[in-house]
A = this chain, B = another copy of it.
Amino acid sequence: MARELPKALTDALAARFGDRFTVSRAVREHHGRDESYYPPTPPDAVVYPHSTEEVCAVVALCREHQVPMIPFGVGTSLEGHILAVKGGVCIDLSQMNRILAVHTEDLDATVEAGVTRMQLNDHLRDTGLFFAIDPGADATLGGMAATRASGTNAVRYGTMRDNVVALTAVTADGRVVRTARRARKSSAGYDLTRLFIGSEGTLGIITEVTVRLHPVQEAISAARCSFPTTKEAVDAVIEIIQSGVPIARCEFLDTTSMNAINRHFKTSYPERMTLFLEFQGSTASVAEQAEQVQGIAREHGGSDFEWETKPEERNRLWHARHNLYFAGLQLKPGARYVSTDVCVPISRLSDCLVETEKDVRAASMPIIVVGHVGDGNFHLGILFDPDKQAELEEAKAIYERLVDRALAMDGTCTGEHGIGLGKMGHLVKEHGEETVSLMRDIKRALDPDNLLNPGKVVEI
């Protein structure tokens, strides 16, 4: 049910945006769900701006009528970021999808917020450069900035925090803020770039992003390796990281994940605890890295070391990894996920995973375990039947225990998915009341009427 928006507001938006403003039920419903398990919560209207100036116009109207605004990219959030829990207007930025500039000499590109990571990489194809951040989904760069996203490349290339040079955001009071110039580093005042990155649409609406690009390396090589136990796989990873090998990707997949991949992608990978690895560099350097890592893996019981030397084999491997989310869903038809996202200091990763596996084995439902283990970050995908409240409760209990476990190990409740709707309590557990009160002060200073994506990150 749509709440009633003020008629003066809908009239003004319709007058300004024509077809690009709608209250149609189908469109609203599409904008009311993401990839989280939360019940759909549609906005009251959807508008499609084409420029920062048009975003300003929407913001001015919504502020005038004190109506919430929810920025929307392509809806691939795993944390309910785009759910209109307090109603309001969804600002869909997907039509702001122009690539504004690529500076190959400076290794950066400026894009509108609705450009997706694959769109940008397609555009870069002939430049010898690429954009490194790769969450599973083909998310928009605006959304990825807003959630401080990362993915399999983070162990080498960092997260959105490290890969955004500057951004443009519209604040609640309609200021257009360009946070930085294009210099590779700067000490010029407060780091507004990083303030907006990870603010999940609650401090401003990101409309443009300047990102860092990286040179495509001369040689790329991927491998799979099986281990008898999780502990042995993780211990190998710790040693790889400590050795200083500049590994490009280092992903853990448990037996259930490997089974899901084999079923969904018709592959025949060994269904054991597995690392997916990638090496990048000069031909000689890749050979050297590979040899060193193979040695470390072997010492920790690694076997079935398989090189994916051809590009199509390598692509198949990473396509499977990026689409594990969908493959896993097939393990239990009709199921949805409760997704977890803890990240712990790497010295505690083995303890954390091994302890968590007890919950996984004892659970009544299938659970996939997959991790960006080079960063200490791993996910459970807990498959529950949305029609069975008891399953949701069981999944949530596993989730809560995992967050408590990670926090006790000096870790975080979220490595890359964000706080969104469901982790606001965890945020306080993690940082403590004093630190979160400072976040609230900042929210209050920038959005005193609580109109920007209200009900996410912090309540004021």
Contacts and interface: CB of A to CB of B under 8 A. Distances in A.
A188 B438 contact: no
A137 interface: no
A189 to B, nearest CB: 5
Interface string A422-452: 0100110011101111110111111000000
Number of copies: 2
B178 A431 contact: yes
Contacts of A53: none
Chain A's interface size range is 35 or more
A13 interface: no
B415 A183 contact: yes
Given A107-B241, A194-B194, A195-B191, A183 B377 contact: yes
Between A105, A107, A426, the greatest number of chain B beta carbons within 10 A of the residue's beta carbon is seen for A105
Contact of A430 (B188, B377, B430): B188
A179 B177 CA distance: 24
Interface stretch (A57-65, A117-125, A404-412): A404-412
A190 B108 contact: no
A94 to B, nearest CB: 22
Interface string A250-278: 00000000000000000000000000000
Contacts of A343: 183-186
Given A284-B288, A434-B177, A416 B185 contact: yes
A103 B177 CA distance: 39
A179 B432 CA distance: 10
Interface stretch (A17-25, A40-48, A83-91, A154-162): A154-162
B189 A427 contact: yes
Between A158, A195, A244, A427, the greatest number of chain B beta carbons within 10 A of the residue's beta carbon is seen for A244
A54 interface: no
Contacts of A364: none
B242 A161 contact: no
Interface in A178-232: 178-192, 194-195, 197-199, 203, 214-218
Interface in A126-163: 147-150, 154, 158-159, 161-162
A449 to B, nearest CB: 14
B215 A412 contact: no
Nearest to A186: B412
A345 interface: yes
A290 interface: no
Contacts of A292: 282
Interface in A381-412: 407, 410-412
A376 interface: yes
Interface of A: 103-108, 147-150, 154, 158-159, 161-162, 171, 175-192, 194-195, 197-199, 203, 214-218, 238, 241-244, 246, 281-282, 284-285, 288, 292, 341, 343-347, 375-377, 407, 410-419, 423, 426-427, 430-432, 434-439, 441-446, 457-458
Sorted nearest first, the 7 A-B pairs with minimum C-beta distance are A215-B244, A194-B194, A445-B445, A105-B347, A186-B412, A183-B343, A106-B345
19 contacts: A105-B346, A105-B347, A149-B187, A158-B162, A161-B194, A176-B434, A181-B412, A183-B411, A183-B415, A187-B198, A187-B414, A187-B418, A188-B427, A190-B198, A190-B443, A215-B243, A285-B288, A442-B445, A442-B446
Given A187-B417, A191-B198, 7 more contacts: A149-B187, A178-B435, A179-B435, A183-B375, A184-B375, A189-B198, A194-B194
